[in-house]
Amino acid sequence: MDGFIAAGIIGIGLGAQYALLALGFTLIFGILGVVNFAHGGFYLVGGYIAYAMVGMAGWPYPAAVLVAILTTGALGYVVELLLVERLVNDELATMMLTLGLYLMMSTTVLVIFGPESPEFIFPVSGTLRGKGFYIPLANLVVLSVCVLAIGAVYLLMYRTGFGRALRALADDRTVAMAQGIRPRLLFPVAFALATALAALTGALVTPILTLSPHAGDAVLATSFMVVILGGLGSIVGATVAAFIVGLVEAYSSVYLGGSKGALALFVLVLFILVVRPSGLFGREVRGA
Amino acid sequence: MRKILRRSSALMVAVVAAGVWTSWLAMPAGADCEVKLGVMGPLSGAAAAWGSAMRIGAEFAVAEANKAGGVQVGAEKCRVSVTPYDSKYTADGAAAGANFLASQGVKFIIGPVGSPEATGIKPVAERNGQITFNSGYAKNAIEPRFPLAFHQLSGPSTWARPVAKAAKEKFGFKSIVVVAPNDQGGTDIASVDAEAYRAVGVKASEEYYQRGTSNFAPIVARILSSNPDAVDTASSPPADGATIAKQLREAGFDGPIGRLGGPGTPEIIRAVGGIDKLKNFYWLEIVPTDDPGVKSLWEDYKSLMGAPAPDNTLMATSVVASRMILKAITKAGTAADVKKVAEALRSLSVEDRNLGKGEWTGQTFYGINQEISLPVGMGMIVDGKHLGVRRIDTSGQ
């Protein structure tokens, strides 16, 4: 029973991190129709900017996280404006472009910071312990920030005119444009928002795990799986799927081991996709 | 269109000219022949630190040789060049790398690094007529059917038992979980490590994870459910080892954490946040890093290359392998006849000016005596205090 509670807590923590990552990934697909293979790169860049600000410039960690979010968001804005925008209607070309961008980002990090992991530690230490469970305080802080950020994204998307405009573009770009919504203005902002979310996750999560130039690889795979499971482009789907993936990963790894656990997760995803090919909350056809 | 063609042609001429100029600059005075050394390993991804150390070690040995006027091949001195290849810690990457290097005229390869790469390169390099010097810990890192494959360091079959014995004596643990990735780069080492622990009277179990895992919290919870006295991260990449150690400590595990596997302890210490966070830790060093000769290698590197070497000890074994290959070429009097060079290599005594004397081993475990066995070290951190790295005697293993 102790292991069951501990696994559940670990699963919720993983789910919140995956949700934050997947939200950015699904926003870009939902609004722009672009499968952003560079998402892991923005996570990586966010982590390394935060590390550089803390470890090299001596800034306090919260300020470093803020700088990472703003800088990576600005980078995302520029990338969309100068590169993605030109190919935005060609799904295959944007896939290749973003994959290339990811390789460039991870190699640049490797060249600048070297292949070895730097010392980047979360400023809060200690562990909350109870009967049959433990939660590192750092994970609790990260979980809280993730939940707040997910809530903020929901408010932005469902309670503001800006969010309504973005959702209109996701639903039907042609009709949205006929209503006066200008994708050339909103696409870079949406891309910046998504990359800022990736950077926030990178800056929050890498100090509780380990920062290294390949840290974006796993992020891309996880985000992709969560978003496919939730339904490409669905914000609610991505959030629900993230928690499902987090909990299944935790329980299967604890009870079946690292190898069989990973297999169980993929079998479950495969099964759900066989039953619902468009994902849990996905639509049959993208409107945009 | 014509304008574009003209510009492209001018650019190509400039690139070729720049290439010729830089090659000429790198060539020792008077050299009119060239020996090409390939160096292979993961230069990207989780194991990039190992591949970079391998590359840097070969580059240093080559710079040394070129500074001395090149390598003696028969009657002439030839300059030595290095061609690196990123084999990405995969079998197919290493096999493709062997072919690429063959296409560049490379007959001698320092590396690859990991077991999957060693598995991939052996048949291809044998067919291409290339000598390889891998550092993988696979149970079949070298084999009698691939006589051109050499091993640049001793594997777990040599050092696991004495290090396990020393760790047990120091920390007094009775049970251990050995955790590693679930591919050949993990299982071949973890299984030998576990066997070594059992041989010295420790109850050992193995736990494997999917390579690419970044958050080990569920694996840590599973490990702790068996209530072990100690945990060994074996050949997990350093970043994985650091995360496992960090999450074990967060979960309240205060027993010793070991690492009977690949190099990377300084990276783990740094990523975890210092030795006081690791508390009790022991590890294998593939070279005894506190020995004066080994320390002087890092000083020599800095003085020749103008920058500090990485603290990854694979750099040292790569230097030894590169120096041995160059010595063998000189002894054989040819860089063209690979079989003759391999024969000369086998006949050389294992001795390095930095790492000291060693021996050729491997007959008992691999069935072929083509493994360079030099002294290894064992490092310990006890109650947050670094006790240094002591030399471990592996003779008779």
CATH superfamily membership of B156-285+377-392: Response regulator (3.40.50.2300)
Tell me if A218 is assigned to some domain.
Answer: yes
Q: Does A136 touch chain B (CB under 8 A)?
A: yes
Tell me if A128 is assigned to some domain.
Answer: no
Q: Average pLDDT, whole number, for chain B?
A: 90
Determine which helix (DSSP H) or strand (DSSP E) holds A140, and give its type and residue range: helix A137-159
In whole angstroms, give the CA distance from residue B291 to residue B301: 16
List pLDDT tens digits, range B118-172.
Answer: 999 999 999 999 999 999 998 899 999 999 999 999 999 889 999 999 999 999 9
- Coarse DSSP helix, strand, coil percentages of chain A, rounded to the nearest 5 percent: 75, 5, 20
Q: Does A107 touch chain B (CB under 8 A)?
A: yes
Query: Quick one: closest CA in B to A250, which residue?
Result: B218
Tell me if A76 is assigned to some domain.
Answer: yes
Cβ–Cβ under 8 Å, residues A45 and A72: yes
List pLDDT tens digits, range B232-265.
Answer: 999 998 889 999 999 999 888 999 999 998 888 8
Percent of chain B with pLDDT over 90: 77
CB-nearest to A259 from B210, B251, B264 is B210
State whether B210 and A258 contact (CB < 8 Å).
yes
Q: Does A257 touch chain B (CB under 8 A)?
A: yes
Tell me if A286 is assigned to some domain.
Answer: no
List pLDDT tens digits, range B29-41.
Answer: 445 799 999 999 9
Tell me if A287 is assigned to some domain.
Answer: no
Which of A66-70, A193-197, A279-283 bottoms out in mean pLDDT, i.e. has the lowest? Answer: A279-283
What per-residue confidence (pLDDT) applies to A218?
85
Q: Does A128 touch chain B (CB under 8 A)?
A: no
Say how many residues make up chain B: 397
Q: Structure tokens of B57?
A: 């070690």
State whether B44 and A129 contact (CB < 8 Å).
no
Contacts of A211 in chain B (CB under 8 A): 271
Find out whether the peptide bond into B28 is cis, omega within 30 degrees of 0: no
Sequence-ordered list of residues with C-beta below 8 angstroms from that of B21, at least 6 positions apart, any chain = none
Give the pLDDT band (50/70/90) at residue B397: low
State whether B46 and A212 contact (CB < 8 Å).
yes
Residues of B with CB under 8 A from a CB of A: 43-46, 48-49, 51-52, 182, 207-210, 212-215, 217-219, 221-222, 225, 238-240, 242-243, 246, 250-252, 264, 267, 270-271, 273-274, 310, 312
**pLDDT of A39 higher than 70:** yes
Residue that wins the pLDDT comparison between A278 and A52: A52
For the domain that residue A16 is a member of, what is the CATH number?
A: 1.10.3470
Give the pLDDT band (50/70/90) at residue B385: very high
Query: Quick one: closest CA in B to A13, which residue?
Result: B217
Work out whether strand B356-357 and strand B351-352 pair parallel, antiparallel, or are unpaired.
Answer: antiparallel
Tell me if A127 is assigned to some domain.
Answer: no
Among A63-77, A158-172, B355-369, top mean pLDDT goes to A63-77
Query: Does ipTM come in above 0.90?
Result: no
Tell me if A285 is assigned to some domain.
Answer: no
- Annotated domain spans of chain B: 31-154+291-357, 156-285+377-392
Measured between CA atoms, how close is B191 to chain A, in angstroms?
16
**pLDDT of B296 higher than 90:** yes
| Mean pLDDT score, B325-340 | 97
Measured between CA atoms, how close is A64 to chain B, in angstroms?
18
CB-nearest to A3 from B43, B221, B267 is B221
Give the pLDDT band (50/70/90) at residue B95: very high
- Among candidate residues A198, A283, A191, A181, the one with its CA nearest the CA of residue A237: A283
Q: What is the pTM of this model?
A: 0.84
State whether B271 and A117 contact (CB < 8 Å).
yes
The structural domain count of chain A equals 1
Residue that wins the pLDDT comparison between B117 and A232: B117
Query: Quick one: closest CA in A to B221, which residue?
Result: A254
Contacts of A249 in chain B (CB under 8 A): 218
Query: Quick one: closest CA in A to B222, which residue?
Result: A254
Q: Domain containing A103: what range? A: 2-120+133-275
**pLDDT of A252 higher than 70:** yes
What's the CATH class of domain B31-154+291-357?
Answer: alpha beta
List pLDDT tens digits, range B3-52.
Answer: 544 554 554 444 445 444 444 444 444 457 999 999 999 998 778 888 99
Residue that wins the pLDDT comparison between A28 and B13: A28
Q: How many C-beta atoms surround the C-beta of residue B71 within 10 A?
A: 25
List pLDDT tens digits, range A103-160.
Answer: 999 999 999 998 889 999 999 988 888 887 888 999 999 999 999 999 999 999 999 9
Query: Any idea what DSSP says for residue B309?
Result: P
**B36: helix, strand or coil:** strand
